[in-house]
């Protein structure tokens, strides 16, 4: 009975008593949700256009951020480094298309999935070989990312908003808007959607699969670069970011693999759920629930909607 009270009543009483803490937690949840969504976006882009579940997205985030910081440390101006990092992602996309994807056309999904595992290992080794394994600082000031915090006194307390978090949310929203326009209005975007629907049909109307793959991996690389800058600014650039990237997976299955809005909504649900769970219910079981709560939330949603919130309905035929 005492346990039931602690689980079902007390946290809500606490929320009511200290609304400022609740708002603060919600805000942190939303920000981390946006950042998860940024990583998830890269997954969705590639999955939509090639049906590949790209496990290497996490390491691409690290890799892009490392190139940016590494070049800056070599004395390249910040914005030139940014452009060069983007170029590096383009080169990576072309190499991946040529070396990994093209020889594996028409293989089962799981084989392509495994190939991206191989890619992950390769990039980890390559990145550490070139840049070393030490964590680095993201060059926030040089990229004109705002710093500092604003405190808002409200609801009987104060709520702290990091400027960086606000910038992250704004930039993520802009990227999502751009991608939505790109997918629905441009010629290439429509070609991407055609490829997603059916490789064969797309080929038969004259869409070059190889070209589309390069474009989509490049787009995912750019998303990875932005995600790398944002995550790097929050928690430093190191290979442990890759583990954070795994958190994008529950976001993905929650939103549905093929849906961009799904990635956003999924990210927000996971981010908020995780922070609320950790703050209000975590102490009951000794804390640290953040590591698995996201997956359990996603699992619960999946039991009701096996294709995710916004995924295309799965129709099975014999």
Partner 1 sequence: MLYREAGQFKTNYVADSAIFPLREDRIGLGLIVLAAYALAFLGNSFLLQAVMIPFLVFSLAAIGLNILTGYTGLLSLGTGAFMGVGAYACYKLMTAFPGVNVIVWIFVSGFFSAAVGALFGLPSLRIKGFYLAVATLAAQFFLQWCFIRIPWLVNYNVSGALDAPLRTLFGIPIMGPNATPQTRYLLVLTIVILLTWLASNLVHGRIGRMWIAIRDMDLAAELMGIRPLQTKLLAFAVSSYYCGVAGALLVFLWYGGAEYDVFNINQSFFILFMVIIGGLGSLIGSFFGAALIFILPIVLGIVLPAALSPFGLSVGADVIEHLRFMIVGALIIFFLIVEPHGLARLWQIGKQKLLVWPFPY
Report the alpha-carbon distance of residue 46 to residue 36 in Å, rounded: 16
Instruction: For 138-152, give the secondary structure using H, E and C.
Output: CCCCCCCCCCCEEEE
Q: Determine the angle formed by the axes of helices 248-255 and 260-276, rounding to 10 degrees.
A: 120
Provide DSSP, 215-228. Answer: HHHHHHHHHHHHHH
Report the alpha-carbon distance of residue 288 to residue 229 in Å, rounded: 26
Structure tokens of 9?
A: 């009543």
Beta carbon of residue 242, minimum distance to partner 1 (angstroms, whole number): 11
Report the alpha-carbon distance of residue 205 to residue 200 in Å, rounded: 9
Beta carbon of residue 237, minimum distance to partner 1 (angstroms, whole number): 17
Q: How many CB atoms lie within 10 A of CB 92?
A: 22
Touching partner 1, residues 15-74 (CB under 8 A): 53
At CA 215, angle to CA 209 and CA 82, rounded to 5? 165
Touching partner 1, residues 226-285 (CB under 8 A): 243, 246, 249-250, 252-253, 257, 285
Instruction: For 196-212, give the secondary structure using H, E and C.
Output: HHCHHHHHHCCCCHHHH
Nearest CB to partner 1, comparing residues 162 and 242: 242
Beta carbon of residue 7, minimum distance to partner 1 (angstroms, whole number): 17
- Does position 110 interact with partner 1 (CB under 8 A)? The reply is yes
Beta carbon of residue 107, minimum distance to partner 1 (angstroms, whole number): 5
From 1, 4, 205, 303, residue interacting with partner 1 (rule: CB under 8 A): 303
Nearest to 230 by CA among 218, 245, 252, 216: 245
Beta carbon of residue 159, minimum distance to partner 1 (angstroms, whole number): 30
Touching partner 1, residues 122-161 (CB under 8 A): 122-126, 128-129, 133
Beta carbon of residue 275, minimum distance to partner 1 (angstroms, whole number): 17
Q: Which stretch binds partner 1 (CB under 8 A): 15-23, 116-124, 194-202, 228-236?
A: 116-124
Contacts with partner 1 by CB under 8 A lie at 53, 99-100, 103-104, 107-111, 113-115, 117-126, 128-129, 133, 243, 246, 249-250, 252-253, 257, 285-286, 288-289, 291-292, 295-296, 298-299, 302-303, 306-308, 314, 316, 318
């Amino acid at each position: 009975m005492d346990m039931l009270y602690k689980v079902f009543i007390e946290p809500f009483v606490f929320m009511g008593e200290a609304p400022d803490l609740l708002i603060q937690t919600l805000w942190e949840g939303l920000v981390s949700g946006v950042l998860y969504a940024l990583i998830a976006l890269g997954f969705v882009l590639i999955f939509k256009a090639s049906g590949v579940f790209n496990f290497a997205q996490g390491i691409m985030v690290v890799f892009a951020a490392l190139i940016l910081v590494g070049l800056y440390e070599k004395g390249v101006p910040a914005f030139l480094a940014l452009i060069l990092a983007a170029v590096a992602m383009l080169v990576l996309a072309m190499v991946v298309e040529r070396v990994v994807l093209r020889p594996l056309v028409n293989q089962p999904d799981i084989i392509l999935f495994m190939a991206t595992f191989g890619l992950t290992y390769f990039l980890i080794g390559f990145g550490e070989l070139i840049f070393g394994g030490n964590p680095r600082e993201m060059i926030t000031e040089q990229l004109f990312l705002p710093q500092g915090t604003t405190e808002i006194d409200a609801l009987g307390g104060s709520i702290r908003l990091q400027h960086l978090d606000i910038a992250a949310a704004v930039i993520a929203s802009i990227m999502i808007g751009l991608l939505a326009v790109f997918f629905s209005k441009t010629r290439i975007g429509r070609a991407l959607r055609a490829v997603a629907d059916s490789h064969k049909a797309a080929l038969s109307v004259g869409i070059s699969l190889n070209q589309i793959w390069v474009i989509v991996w490049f787009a995912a690389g750019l998303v990875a670069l932005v995600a790398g800058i944002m995550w790097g600014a929050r928690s430093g650039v190191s290979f442990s970011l890759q583990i954070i990237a795994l958190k994008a997976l529950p976001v993905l299955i929650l939103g549905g693999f093929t849906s961009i809005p799904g990635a956003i909504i999924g990210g927000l649900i996971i981010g908020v759920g995780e922070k609320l769970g950790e703050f209000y219910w975590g102490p009951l079981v000794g804390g640290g629930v953040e590591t698995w709560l996201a997956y359990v939330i996603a699992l619960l949603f999946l039991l009701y909607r096996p294709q995710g919130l916004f995924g295309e309905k799965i129709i099975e035929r014999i």
